């Protein structure tokens, strides 16, 4: 069961476990460890953090526009969020899923800039491959 959160780096699949996504990312050392450039880190640091408000959303989106994927566990289901095309998002998180999930883990992927989403089990992803599973 997952009750954790993480930032995943789309480029290489690396990840960092976190507490709260936006607040965690506003720490320059943490953001740098995820590979964000200094100008991006400065923009993120300048955004006022607010719990579940526009500041929190803006911080997360700024990180996502620079290659980060938000992961959150919800008990027996998980969510990945990004601005990447769904197939790319799944490809970028494949090693993470392989390491962390069982076949019946319910996976939801959301592309926040377009509203596209897909939901199914990790077994569905493995059976169809990342490109085929997003076509319904």
pLDDT at residue number 1: 47
In the β-sheet with 15-18, what is the strand arrangement from edge to edge?
A: 15-18, 5-9, 68-74, 77-82, 106-111, 117-121
Alpha carbon of residue 86 to chain centroid = 11
Distances (CA, A) of 40 to 8, 15, 126: 16, 18, 34
Query: pTM of the prediction?
Result: 0.91
| Nearest Cα to Cα of residue 64 among 48, 82, 90 | 82
pLDDT at residue number 16: 96
Tell me the pLDDT tens digit for each residue of 26-83: 999 999 999 999 999 999 999 999 988 999 999 999 999 999 999 999 988 999 999 9
CB count within 10 Å of CB 110 equals 19
Residue 135: is its pLDDT beyond 60? no
The rounded mean pLDDT for the chain is 92
Token pair of 66 as six digits: 């620079």
């Amino acid at each position: 069961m997952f009750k954790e959160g993480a930032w995943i780096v789309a480029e290489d699949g690396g990840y960092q476990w976190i507490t709260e996504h936006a607040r965690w990312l506003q720490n320059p050392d943490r953001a740098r460890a995820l590979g964000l450039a200094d100008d991006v880190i400065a923009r993120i640091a300048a955004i006022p953090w607010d719990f579940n408000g526009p500041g929190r959303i803006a911080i997360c989106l700024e990180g996502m526009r620079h290659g980060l994927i938000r992961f959150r566990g919800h008990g027996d289901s998980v969510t990945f969020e990004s601005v990447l095309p769904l197939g790319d998002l799944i490809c970028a998180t494949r090693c993470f899923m392989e390491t962390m999930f069982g076949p019946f883990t319910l996976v939801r992927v959301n592309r926040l800039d377009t509203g596209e989403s897909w939901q199914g089990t990790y077994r569905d992803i493995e059976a169809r491959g990342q490109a085929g599973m997003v076509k319904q």
